[in-house]
């Protein structure tokens, strides 16, 4: 049966090659969309590593201040703002950070550690950052005021970075130099897998550097994180901004709850998925309609062949199976080429951030969807073929 189907496909190789090519490219697009969706779903099942409920972010916009240098007066103003926020009864705790959660970008570092390249994101935070976001320590401790007296720089890393750099060893107390310009750095604590960019983002290496607002040699963070009491309404925002504006008249402030920032951030991820999904959907519809038209024309042109087969005793079921079998064979050729291509990506480590489980699920679901679309497109033309009567073959010379 397979040999006969292959011969039928080969006899119409020119038009069938175009169908195979169409299926091949459709599979690649669909595979990318499905794998991205599975990747998001898999990431969503992991813990964020922090709590965003009842936390507000105040972004500070200072005129004539660069990211690397603030004047002593600007640094002193930031300290005043930080102290003033602690006077509000609505605020339980206050922290400062270079980059808050649910914001793209930030400081990154790539370096060699014991002969291997390690990539990580670096954030500069104050001692109260852990309490405001409820970070969970795995081992060691968080930053404290006692660190002011150290002659080396303390850093806190997340569990993923600890496993990549130190494997199964205890990282506490070990030297770790994530950037070339600074001096001796040592790990004092390990937190869970902190995912700043939200539930859809991948797990990544993360490092926290201590920032002391009382140290004029360090640049002040540009974001203040406020843990407000449950039930605090949006009306508090006006009161908060007025207080800060009275201290820093030339500065501007943007206040947003982290819950709102999270929602906006997740929408930006979904926008990418939806955009590709729309393209993939229209492409699959075009493929289905194209196959329907090609097969319909194919059945019409092969009326004599099908009629002769019916005259020789072929049942309607066998004709139906033949047409669908040819289509499935064409589909299998296209999918085989596509599968051979996509399995090269993990072998060449081109998409190392996607796990093998996610990759295989994306591949399996994409194959099923392509087969479903092609079979659905072939049902009606194959049914038309079963309606060809043996007498119709006599109309042809």
Closest to 174 (Cα-Cα) out of 112, 113, 110: 113
Residue listed under structure tokens 């797990």: 203
Q: In Å, what is the CA distance from 309 to each residue of 124, 169, 219, 314?
A: 77, 73, 84, 5
Q: Say whether both 187 and 294 belong to one domain.
A: no
In order, the DSSP letters of 249-318 are TT-EEEEEEHHHHHHHHHHHHHHHHHHHHHHHHHHHHHHHHHHHHHHHHHHHHTHHHHHHHHHTT--HHH
Q: Say whether both 91 and 233 belong to one domain.
A: yes
Is residue 332, in this structure, part of any structural domain at all?
yes
Is residue 14, in this structure, part of any structural domain at all?
yes
Q: Say whether both 108 and 170 belong to one domain.
A: yes
Is residue 316, in this structure, part of any structural domain at all?
yes
Q: Say whether both 153 and 81 belong to one domain.
A: yes
Q: Say whether both 244 and 144 belong to one domain.
A: yes
Q: Say whether both 18 and 129 belong to one domain.
A: no
For the segment 312-322, what is each residue's pLDDT rounded down to a tens digit?
Answer: 655 656 666 67
Q: How many CB atoms lie within 10 A of CB 259?
A: 14
Q: Say whether both 276 and 360 belong to one domain.
A: yes
- The residue from 188, 217, 250 where one domain ends is 250
What is the mean predicted confidence (pLDDT) over 275-296? 78
Is residue 109, in this structure, part of any structural domain at all?
yes
- pLDDT for residue 328 is more than 70: yes
- pLDDT for residue 368 is more than 50: yes
- pLDDT for residue 397 is more than 70: no
Closest to 95 (Cα-Cα) out of 271, 258, 280, 236: 258
Task: Output the pTM of the full model.
Answer: 0.78
Q: Say whether both 233 and 365 belong to one domain.
A: no
Q: State residue 284's pLDDT score.
A: 80
* Distance from the first to the final alpha carbon of the chain: 28
Q: Say whether both 38 and 69 belong to one domain.
A: no
What is the mean predicted confidence (pLDDT) over 348-358? 75
- The residue from 250, 282, 298 where one domain ends is 250
- The residue from 215, 250, 285 where one domain ends is 250
Q: State residue 277's pLDDT score.
A: 86
Q: State residue 181's pLDDT score.
A: 47
Is residue 260, in this structure, part of any structural domain at all?
no
Domain of 238 in residue numbering reads as 63-250
Q: Say whether both 207 and 318 belong to one domain.
A: no
220 contacts 133 by C-beta, under 8 angstroms? no
Q: Give the residue, 348 or 125, on which the prediction is more confident.
A: 125
Is residue 319, in this structure, part of any structural domain at all?
yes
Q: Say whether both 139 and 196 belong to one domain.
A: yes
Q: Say whether both 225 and 280 belong to one domain.
A: no
Q: Give the residue, 266 or 296, on which the prediction is more confident.
A: 266
* Total number of domains constituting the chain: 2
Is residue 55, in this structure, part of any structural domain at all?
no
Is residue 52, in this structure, part of any structural domain at all?
no
């Amino acid at each position: 049966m397979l040999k006969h189907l292959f011969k039928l496909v080969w006899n119409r190789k020119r038009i069938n090659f175009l169908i195979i090519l169409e299926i091949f490219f459709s599979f690649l697009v669909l595979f990318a969309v499905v794998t991205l969706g599975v990747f998001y779903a898999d990431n969503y099942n992991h813990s964020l590593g922090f709590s965003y409920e009842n936390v507000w972010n105040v972004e500070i916009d200072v005129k004539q201040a660069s990211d690397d240098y603030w004047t002593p007066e600007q640094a002193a103003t930031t300290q005043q703002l930080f102290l003033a926020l602690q006077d509000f009864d609505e605020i339980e705790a206050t922290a400062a950070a270079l980059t808050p959660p649910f914001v793209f970008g930030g400081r990154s570092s790539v370096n060699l550690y014991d002969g291997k390249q390690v990539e990580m994101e670096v954030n500069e935070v104050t001692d109260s950052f852990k309490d405001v976001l409820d970070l969970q320590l795995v081992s060691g401790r968080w930053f404290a005021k006692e660190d002011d007296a150290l002659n080396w720089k303390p850093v806190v890393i997340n569990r993923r970075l600890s496993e990549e750099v130190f494997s199964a060893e205890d990282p506490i107390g070990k030297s770790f130099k994530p950037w070339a310009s600074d001096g001796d750095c040592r790990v004092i604590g390990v937190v869970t897998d902190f995912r700043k960019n939200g539930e859809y983002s991948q797990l990544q290496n993360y490092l926290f550097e201590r920032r002391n607002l009382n140290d004029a040699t360090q640049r002040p963070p540009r974001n203040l994180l406020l843990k407000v009491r449950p039930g605090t309404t949006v009306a508090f925002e006006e009161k908060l901004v007025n207080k800060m504006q009275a201290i820093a008249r030339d500065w501007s402030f943007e206040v947003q709850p982290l819950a709102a920032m999270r929602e906006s951030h997740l929408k930006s991820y979904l926008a990418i998925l939806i955009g590709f999904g729309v393209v993939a959907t229209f492409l699959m519809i075009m493929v289905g309609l194209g196959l329907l038209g090609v097969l319909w024309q194919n059945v019409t042109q092969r009326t004599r062949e099908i009629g002769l087969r019916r005259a020789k005793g072929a049942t309607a079921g066998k004709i139906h199976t033949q047409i669908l079998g040819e289509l499935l064979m064409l589909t299998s050729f296209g999918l085989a080429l596509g599968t051979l291509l996509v399995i090269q990506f993990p072998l060449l480590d081109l998409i190392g951030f996607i796990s093998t489980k996610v990759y295989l699920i994306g591949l399996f679901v994409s194959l099923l969807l392509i087969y479903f679309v092609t079979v659905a497109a072939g049902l009606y033309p194959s049914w038309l073929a079963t309606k060809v009567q043996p007498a119709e073959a006599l109309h042809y010379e």
